[in-house]
Structure 1
């Protein structure tokens, strides 16, 4: 029944124009379409959308993950565009200069978008 299905993240935005600028200018996403109630983007081979909401609660967890071949290179590129990365120090997870070693040769980093959504950048060995 779900053969051929794809997934995409749907992120809340209190200010659609601000969020659209953030994703196109800072993240480098391509805006694909804007309809009443949603704006659709692509980044790499993935797609996601934002929708307007007055609710400012973002849940405090990663809401979208971007799997990349080189986490540190992506972090450097996004930083050059003005993206600020989070620093974490939890048992079993510590970032150094915004990047955490997640074992097995993998690494991860997280940033908040203009709306407070937490976006992860992860390099996983496959």
Structure 2
């Protein structure tokens, strides 16, 4: 590795991360994010919507491809998971139920022990749902 390579690594290490989610129908996705999640884009361009949260951005973009929805593509870290889940359910969001060895949801919420101890938590409570485009989104609350 030369000095030039280390400059690139340092630059990337300080970069903001922004998620990109595919949408086959951008208008449908915009309605879902507004009506179900209470989110409005801060900017838009042909084929794309930009959303801004407290600690990062994500964009929906028109795509002919679609997500398999078999893994969490983006997650929101929240302070009160029960309240957020209840509000999203009230808005019509359907949460995933999982029943696998060592990983089970109860009323849509799972406890994941030892998840990211570097964050100062002993685990995390989580819930997952799909948006209108099939993208799998997560909610997480650190267990401290």
TM-score (norm 2): 0.79
Q: Where does structure 2 lack aligned partners over 5 or more consecutive residues?
A: 1-10, 114-121
Deviation at 1:106, TM superposition (A): 2.5
- 1:117 corresponds in structure 2 to 135
Query: 56, 66, 70: which one pairs with 1:46?
Result: 56
1:8-53: CA deviation from partner (whole Å, max 9, x where unpaired): 2100001000001111121111211111231101234332101111
Q: Distance in 1 between matches of 2:58 and 2:33?
A: 10
Would you identify which runs of 4 or more consecutive aligned residues in structure 1 move more than 4 Å?
none
Q: Distance in 1 between matches of 2:36 and 2:86?
A: 12
The alignment covers a number of residue pairs equal to: 126
Query: 101, 107, 123: which one pairs with 1:97?
Result: 107
Higher strand share: 1
Larger radius of gyration: 2
Q: Distance in 2 between matches of 1:43 and 1:24?
A: 14
Higher helix share: 2
Q: Where does structure 1 lack aligned partners over 5 or more consecutive residues?
A: none
TM-score (norm 1): 0.90
Asked if structure 1 preserves the Cα contact closer than 8 Å seen for 2:129 and 2:136, the reply is yes
> What is the CA RMSD across the aligned residues, in angstroms?
1.7
- 1:70 corresponds in structure 2 to 80
- 1:108 corresponds in structure 2 to 126
